[in-house]
Amino acid sequence: MKSVQWRTARRLLAGAVTVGLAGALVAAGVTATKGTPATAGTTHEEAAAAPAAPAPVVAVATLQPQPGTADVHPLGAARASASAGTLSDVALTDSDGGALPGGYSPDRTQWTATAPLAYGETYTWSGALTAPDGAVTPLTGSFGTVRPTKYVKGTLNIDDGATVGVAAPVIVRFDRDLPPAAKAEIERGLSVQTSTPVEGAWAWLPDDWGGSRVHWRPKEYWPVGTQVTVSIPLYGKDLGVGYGRADLTTHFTIGRSQIVKADEDSHRIVVIRDGQQVMDLPASYGLETDPRRVTRNGTHIVMAKSEKVLMSNPDYGYVNQPEYWAVRISNNGEFIHANPASVGSQGRRNVSHGCINLSTANAKAYFDTAMYGDPVEVTGSSVPLSAADGDVYDWAVPWDQWKAMSALSVS
């Protein structure tokens, strides 16, 4: 994952260094003194019409932030500007002597840093302003940036360069519960850019997983092959409970379309890849007569997979039971996995504790094809997938309701 720092405008104080250049008037052979008549044949009218001395040319260097300022906000431009003359050797260095990168305008009357300021740092200006008359004035002075006592860290669920399934949501988790104003501030800066037009929206899900979280999903499944770039600018934002620690970005690709049609009534799963059926496997789903064992109805997604998972349900008499070729499809304990003990029921009856059971060979065959974000569409169940079933239930939320979960939605 890349972490980068973001720059936006900020209000900064400005310091100034001024160099004056006085012009001079020389009127050869002409003298005029108060109370004395003009000489050398010059009339009073001619003396009065002589040109006035030009106004002095003033060269002013303005420094932003102003030297001596404390608690400067880290976002925005750090800049030196000259009203006349030219700037040279401009540098803005931190307490370790490292210089911010920057560049001059074509006429060298402005130098602007091209990287943001760091938190809790002291910066020192150096360089020179050369006035039109050649006078040189140094640029000097230091300022300090804000020192946060708390930070807000964000994490993205999809790694840079990953390939994911057509139902994959983008999930940003924060390590603190954010107030409504902070959610709105963050959402205004969020960006999802796609190589082909895709309708989608951000939604804030409940803060019940150790901090706030915002998800983005498309209205319909992603188009195959879409290139996606996500930008999460956090750095420098005052979020009320802390300052954003770092920006986040990721770029990923939507892979082939693989949809699992999981019909409880048929006691089978059918795997459709790019529109073609590639598997039709006998399965056993959760026992319908026990609401705690029912496989949830609705669109799940493949979240992770592992060759071996230890499963526990003390209420039903098992702890750390090893199960193999396990593909997680929710955070309520639902997997598609091998279960040799239920092979006799697979394709005939639903007897599991909520998982979709396959034979060992069939489970491995499916496991090898599964990818994060693949949809698993469960039908025929009596209990719908909902927020009670874990932190990823994005496709169970109707589209209009999903859009209304934006922090920017207008009620």
361 φ/ψ sector (left φ>0, alpha ψ -120 to 50, else beta): alpha
Q: How many CA atoms lie within 13 A of 304 on its CB side?
A: 11
Quick check: 177 and 158 in contact, CB under 8 A?
Answer: no
Structure token digits, residue 339: 């279960």
Alpha carbon distance 169, 152 (integer Å): 22
Report how far Cα 285 is from the mean position of its chain's Cα atoms: 39
> What is 201-263 written as a DSSP string?
EEEEEPS-SSS-EEEEEESSPPPTT-EEEEEE--TT-B-SSSEE--EEEEEEEE---EEEEEE
Quick check: 325 and 363 in contact, CB under 8 A?
Answer: yes
**CA dihedral for 321, 326, 329, 335, sign (positive or negative):** negative
Is residue 355 part of the annotated active site? The answer reads yes
Structure token digits, residue 165: 């399934």
Of the residues 215, 300, 353, 355, only one is catalytic, namely 355
How many other β-carbons are positioned within 10 Å of the β-carbon of residue 141? 17
Alpha carbon distance 345, 280 (integer Å): 16
Report how far Cα 121 is from the mean position of its chain's Cα atoms: 24
Of the residues 215, 300, 337, 353, only one is catalytic, namely 337
Residues marked active site are found at 337, 355
